[in-house]
Amino acid sequence: MLTLINFASFAQDDEFSMVRKKIESIGLGVEAIADAPVEGLLQVTTERGLFYISEDGKYLLQARIFNVEEGMRNETELALGKLRLEGVEELSDSVIEFKAKNEKHVVHVFTDTTCGYCRKLHNEIGQYNDEGITVRYLAFPRAGLNTDNHQELVSVWCANNPQKAMTDAKSGDSVQTKTCDNQVAEHYQLGQKLGVTGTPAIILPSGMLVPGYQPANILAEALNRSR
C-alpha cells in the first residue's frame, strides 16, 4: 500500500527536500510523492505523469513495475488508474455528455474537433448510446494551448448548446467563436498528466486508458466483460 509523504516535512528533511528540488529543476512540477512498490524507489506524481526516482534523487525512471509474485500485476497501471479516475471526477462538471437512455457504462473520452478518428467516433455516438455507453468528452487540443485548435474547443465548450456545437465542429461545419469561463486548458493539462498523447483516448470505468478509436460493439463487449 502506498504511503504518501507530506511535503510539509520536507523543510525538516534535507534528503527529501533535495529529491523534490532535483525533480523540479528539470521542469517537472511535483504533485505528490509516495513509496514505490520497489524498495529504494519513490513514486512521483507530476504534471507530466508518473515517474519513479531513487531515494538519493540521482536516477529518474519512467517505467512499468510488475509484481511477479502477484501474477504479473501491473503496479504502475493500478496507480495510474486511480489518478485517472480522480482526475476526471474533479472535472466532471465541465464535460460535454452524450448520455445513453439505458445507461450501463460511462466512459470519458479526450477528444479534438480536428482529429479524424475523433470524428469517426462521434459520427457513431448513437451506436455507443444504443450499447448503453454514456460518453463524456474532455478537451485535448492536439496543437496545444493558445492555438486556433484550442480556441475552437473553447468555442464548443462555451456554446449555448455544446452538444450541437461538438457535432457541428466534428462534421466540419463552422462554430461561432465564443469565450467564457471554461476548463479546456485544465482538460488538456490533465490529459498530459495521465499519459494522453493522441486522440481519441478513452478512460474506462476501471481507470484503464484505451488509446484510439474503438467500435461501439467492441467497446461494449470489453465493458460488459469487466463488470
Residue 204: closest CA among 119, 76, 85? 85
pLDDT digit string (tens) for 111-149?
999 999 999 999 999 999 999 999 999 999 999 999 999
pLDDT of 4 strictly over 80: no
pLDDT digit string (tens) for 90-116?
999 999 999 999 999 999 999 999 999
- Whether 153 maps to a domain, the answer reads yes
Q: Do residue 177 and residue 205 come from a single domain?
A: yes
Q: CATH no. for residue 202?
A: 3.40.30.10
pLDDT of 1 strictly over 60: no
Domain finish residue from 45, 74, 103:
74
Q: Which domain holds residue 66?
A: 7-74
Q: Do residue 59 and residue 162 come from a single domain?
A: no
pLDDT of 184 strictly over 50: yes
Mean pLDDT of the chain: 90
Q: What percent of the chain has pLDDT over 90?
A: 75
pLDDT at 16 (0 to 100): 64
- Whether 214 maps to a domain, the answer reads yes
Confidence of residue 227 (pLDDT cuts 50, 70, 90): low
Q: Do residue 202 and residue 134 come from a single domain?
A: yes
Q: Do residue 93 and residue 65 come from a single domain?
A: no
- Whether 135 maps to a domain, the answer reads yes
Q: Do residue 70 and residue 95 come from a single domain?
A: no
- HEC assignment per residue over 123-134: HCHHHHHHCCEE
Residue 111: closest CA among 149, 147, 160, 81? 149
> What's the whole-model pTM score?
0.84
Q: Would you call 179 exposed, middle or buried from its count of C-beta atoms within 10 A (0-12, 13-18, 19+)?
A: exposed
Residues 6+ apart with CB under 8 A from 31: 45, 46, 47
pLDDT of 54 strictly over 70: yes
pLDDT at 169 (0 to 100): 96
Specify the number of domains making up the chain.
2
Region of residue 132 (phi > 0: left; psi between -120 and 50: alpha; otherwise: beta) = left
Q: Do residue 107 and residue 181 come from a single domain?
A: yes
Catalytic residues: 112, 115, 118, 142
- Whether 1 maps to a domain, the answer reads no
pLDDT of 19 strictly over 60: yes
- Whether 81 maps to a domain, the answer reads no
Q: Do residue 100 and residue 69 come from a single domain?
A: no
Q: Do residue 127 and residue 203 come from a single domain?
A: yes
